[in-house]
């Protein structure tokens, strides 16, 4: 491209810095001549009229070639605006093709404005004149034939100056296409299931991508809480393209920690048949949102945290961490923030604080020789609508509650020894906290490990349970006292163990007193392990545990008290399955064989193979395990995991009568109930 140069001569120069303004000028000239054409249409015309230079075709030296704006001007045609026809179930037609055709440099020639089309043919076979219905509106129809068919078409028009335009612009190389056929295809719903949702942020939002060959009529969610006694539904809003989303039609007060929400997404297309499809039934738990932030993520503010500021934000994340442990902290730059600057770091909404809850955080601050910096801690019990002051800390050369080291005249970055910890009792119901910094143009402040903790002493929990083998339906007692271990686990994957304890189950009350010494308040699954029983978890959703308050859970009242109702009813008592001798999560031939071997050897004492607690391993224990193995009993937990392979039975077991003999040794005969009916010696 050549452009004017200094003096009275011309010079050659290359590069986008020179070429871009000239090309933009060319587009502006074309836009002035044909204001009805889009930028995309003008670009196509400009590229199609260039003079190819160098190697034939587009290359890295000359691109598409030398711009010829006059040639492009001569090729300016009318603007053809058309929305392509969608697939349809109408087999008979006709199919109206409408277009807005705007003249550019001359009027539209009706005799040369046509619709070209074909049926079941990749090449165009027919055409029909378009009619000017009103103003710039033109229309024509493609006839149907009553059969399933694929139609291809394009529009072509010429103005009075002989300039031609098409839709698509490069037709017939590219054609519009639609299919006429009866629709029996269901919508396709793509959705990532929701995981545990904090009560503090309820109602949650459901999002999905819903597609269909003809289009979507509507999408909605059907859901219920805990049981399908009351089923609700709400419509998903089409936010853009194929994306749909909406929040559950529920108030925050309508759910509690530990509730289980079940939902499925349903979609219907706009076909005559109204084809529908739905997702699987998904579920998630309502959990507590705990506040404990160590600023380990590079994302700042942390998820669901926020800032309050104007102008430059002086709250940033810094790599240093409290006491040199961990990675990261929040920094307020008093060093650069002008005096009087006030900005806040606001926590996420968390579960309302309980009695004895305390705000604990670490901080580091060095005062400057002048100025008084401060940080006010404000608390809210209504999710941040209003706040009240909890504490005000200040730092200055003369001393202050923020100071953790001596005066410093350079920018402060703390060492591991220059941190302090603050604790403040929280008002009951606190669910949001604000750290409001006010600059006195002093030195930097660092805040880390912001957590709500509970200082109440742990109280022993009362857990009621009975194992199948030990429970005696005649006495309604356990045959003996025995030890169990209990775990508190998170209610969301990977269901980490938060705390554990062990206790002895009383034979009369069926209760064990178990102390969880370290667990904070929260919602947890209760996980029970016994030496020869199937591990058993509490029902879906978890249980609310308040540190310092009495916690109790009774597995015996109903099968549904166990996750997946994975217990057995013995009399009127719901009991944990017995027989998992090797504790692999399944009762199978391996366990049965272990019991059989010990029974064969007439072993006695406190044995893992003694399921009923009579201090003998015999046919009674064998039958308990054998029945459960035959019933394919295995653990039921929210944890995903590999399927436990069951050992194939190698021998046939007669349940009605079992005889064990060892040449000339004693033999025992066991009837169907497992009761020993006779012991005899052989001479």
* DSSP annotation string for 533-594: B--EEBPTT-EEE-TTS--EEESSS-GGGBGGG--EEETTEEEBPB--TT-SSB--HHHHHH
pTM of the full structure: 0.54
Region 659-673: mean pLDDT is: 36
Q: What is the pLDDT of residue 663?
A: 37
CATH architecture for segment(s) 188-287: Sandwich (2.60)
What does the block give as tokens for 425?
A: 């009792």
Region 349-373: mean pLDDT is: 92
What average pLDDT does the structure give for the chain?
88
Q: What is the pLDDT of residue 79?
A: 86
Is 147 exposed, middle or buried, given 0-12, 13-18 or 19+ CB atoms closer than 10 A? exposed
What does the block give as tokens for 596?
A: 């059989």
Give per-residue pLDDT as tens, 499-527: 899 999 999 999 999 999 888 878 899 99
Residue 69 pLDDT > 50, yes or no? yes
Is 30 exposed, middle or buried, given 0-12, 13-18 or 19+ CB atoms closer than 10 A? buried
pLDDT over 70, % of the chain = 92
Region 461-490: mean pLDDT is: 94
What does the block give as tokens for 670?
A: 């066991």
Which residue from 550, 519, 499, 520 is spatially nearest to 350, judged by alpha carbons? 520
DSSP string, 202-229: PSPEEEEEEE-SS-EEEEEEEEEESSTT
Give per-residue pLDDT as tens, 181-218: 988 889 999 999 998 888 888 999 999 999 998 889 99
Is 360 exposed, middle or buried, given 0-12, 13-18 or 19+ CB atoms closer than 10 A? middle
- Long-range interactions of 312-319: CB distance < 8 A, separation 24+: 312/337, 313/343, 314/341, 314/343, 314/437, 314/439, 315/343, 315/345, 315/437, 318/413, 318/446
Q: What is the pLDDT of residue 373?
A: 97
Q: What's the gap between Cα 249 and its chain centre?
A: 19
What does the block give as tokens for 336?
A: 């650069």
Measured between alpha carbons, how far is 409 from 407 in angstroms, rounded to an integer? Answer: 7
Give the Cα-Cα-Cα angle 132, 133, 139 (nearest 5 degrees).
70
> If pLDDT is split at 50, 70 and 90, which confidence band does 4 have?
low
Q: Is the dihedral of CA 399, 401, 405, 410 positive or negative?
A: negative
Which residue from 280, 246, 284 is spatially nearest to 262, judged by alpha carbons? 284
Does residue 332 contact residue 402 with C-beta atoms inside 8 Å? no
Give per-residue pLDDT as tens, 30-40: 888 777 777 88
Measured between alpha carbons, how far is 78 from 157 in angstroms, rounded to an integer? Answer: 7
Least confident of 33-42, 85-94, 170-179: 33-42
> If pLDDT is split at 50, 70 and 90, which confidence band does 561 have?
very high
User: Regarding the domain delimited by 79-180, which CATH topology (the fold level of the hierarchy) does it fall under?
Assistant: Immunoglobulin-like (2.60.40)
> If pLDDT is split at 50, 70 and 90, which confidence band does 661 have?
very low
681 versus 597: the higher-pLDDT residue is: 597
568 versus 547: the higher-pLDDT residue is: 568
Does residue 337 contact residue 374 with C-beta atoms inside 8 Å? no
| Residue whose tokens read 């006195």 | 440
* Assigned CATH class of 292-454: mainly beta
Region 100-104: mean pLDDT is: 89
Give the Cα-Cα-Cα angle 581, 584, 586 (nearest 5 degrees).
80
Give per-residue pLDDT as tens, 301-338: 998 999 999 999 999 999 999 999 888 999 999 999 99
Q: What is the pLDDT of residue 179?
A: 93
How long a stretch of residues is the chain?
A: 683
Which residue from 335, 423, 421, 343 is spatially nearest to 375, judged by alpha carbons? 343
pLDDT over 90, % of the chain = 65
Q: Is the dihedral of CA 372, 373, 379, 380 positive or negative?
A: positive
Helix (H, G, I), strand (E, B), or coil: what is residue 599? Answer: helix
Helix (H, G, I), strand (E, B), or coil: what is residue 70? Answer: helix
Q: Which DSSP helix (H) or strand (E) runs through 22?
A: helix 16-33
């Amino acid at each position: 491209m050549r452009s004017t140069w200094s003096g009275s001569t011309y010079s050659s120069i290359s590069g986008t810095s020179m070429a871009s303004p000239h090309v933009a000028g060319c587009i502006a000239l074309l836009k002035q001549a044909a204001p009805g054409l889009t930028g995309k249409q003008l670009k196509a015309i400009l590229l199609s009229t260039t003079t190819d230079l160098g190697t034939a075709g587009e290359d890295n030296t000359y691109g598409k070639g030398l711009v010829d704006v006059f040639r492009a001007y001569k090729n300016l045609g009318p603007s053809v605006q058309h929305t392509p026809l969608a697939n349809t179930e109408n087999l008979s037609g006709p199919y109206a093709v409408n277009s807005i055709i705007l003249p550019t440099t001359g009027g539209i020639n009706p005799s040369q404005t046509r619709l070209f089309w074909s049926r079941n043919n990749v090449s165009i076979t027919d055409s029909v004149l378009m009619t000017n219905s009103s103003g710039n509106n033109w229309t024509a129809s493609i006839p149907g034939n009553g059969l399933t068919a694929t139609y291809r078409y394009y529009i072509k028009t010429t103005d009075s100056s002989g300039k031609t335009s098409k839709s698509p612009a490069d037709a017939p190389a590219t054609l519009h296409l639609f299919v006429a056929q009866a629709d029996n295809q269901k919508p396709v719903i793509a959705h990532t299931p929701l995981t545990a949702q904090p009560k503090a942020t309820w109602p949650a939002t459901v999002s999905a991508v819903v597609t269909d060959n003809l289009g979507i009529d509507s999408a909605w969610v059907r859901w219920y809480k805990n049981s399908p006694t009351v089923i609700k539904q709400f419509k998903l809003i089409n936010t853009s393209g194929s994306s749909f989303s909406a929040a559950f039609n529920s108030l925050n007060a309508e759910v509690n920690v530990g509730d289980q929400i079940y939902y499925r997404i349903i979609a219907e297309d706009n076909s005559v048949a109204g084809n529908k499809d739905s997702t699987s039934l998904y579920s998630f738990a309502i959990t507590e949102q705990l506040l404990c932030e160590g600023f380990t993520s590079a994302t700042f503010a942390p998820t669901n945290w926020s800032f309050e500021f104007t102008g430059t934000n002086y709250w940033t994340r810094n790599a240093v961490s409290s006491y040199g442990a961990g990675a990261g902290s929040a920094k307020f730059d008093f060093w650069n923030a002008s005096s009087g600057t006030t900005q806040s770091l606001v926590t996420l909404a968390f579960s309302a604080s309980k009695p004895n809850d305390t705000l604990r955080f670490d901080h580091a601050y060095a005062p400057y020789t002048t100025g008084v910096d401060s940080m006010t801690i404000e608390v809210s019990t209504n999710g941040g609508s209003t706040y009240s002051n909890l504490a005000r800390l200040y730092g200055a050369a003369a001393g202050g509650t923020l100071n953790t080291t001596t005066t410093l005249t350079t920018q402060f970055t703390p060492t591991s020894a220059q941190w302090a910890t603050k604790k403040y009792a929280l008002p009951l119901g606190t669910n949001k906290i604000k750290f409001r910094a006010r600059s006195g143009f002093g030195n930097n402040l660092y805040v880390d490990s912001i957590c709500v903790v509970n200082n109440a002493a742990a109280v022993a929990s009362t857990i009621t349970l009975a194992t199948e083998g030990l429970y005696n339906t005649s006495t309604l007692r356990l045959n003996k006292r025995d030890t169990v271990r209990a775990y508190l686990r998170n209610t969301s994957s990977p269901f980490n163990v938060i705390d554990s304890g062990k206790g002895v189950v009383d034979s009369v009350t069926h209760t064990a007193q178990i102390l969880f010494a370290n667990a904070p308040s929260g919602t947890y699954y209760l996980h029970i392990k016994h030496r020869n029983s199937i591990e058993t978890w509490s029902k879906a959703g978890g249980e609310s545990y308040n540190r310092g308050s009495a916690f109790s859970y009774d597995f015996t009242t109903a099968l549904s008290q166990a996750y997946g109702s994975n217990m057995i009813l013995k009399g009127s008592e719901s009991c944990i399955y017995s027989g998992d001798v090797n504790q692999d999560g399944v009762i199978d031939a391996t366990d049965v064989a272990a019991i059989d071997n010990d029974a064969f050897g007439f072993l006695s004492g406190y044995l893992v193979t003694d399921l009923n607690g009579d201090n003998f391993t015999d046919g009674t224990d064998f039958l308990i395990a054998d029945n459960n193995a035959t019933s394919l009993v295995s653990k039921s937990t929210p944890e995903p995991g590999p399927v436990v392979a069951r050992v194939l039975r190698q021998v046939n077991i007669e349940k009605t009568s079992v005889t064990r003999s060892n040449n000339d040794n004693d033999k025992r005969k066991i009837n169907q109930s497992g009761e020993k009916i006779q012991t005899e010696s052989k001479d």
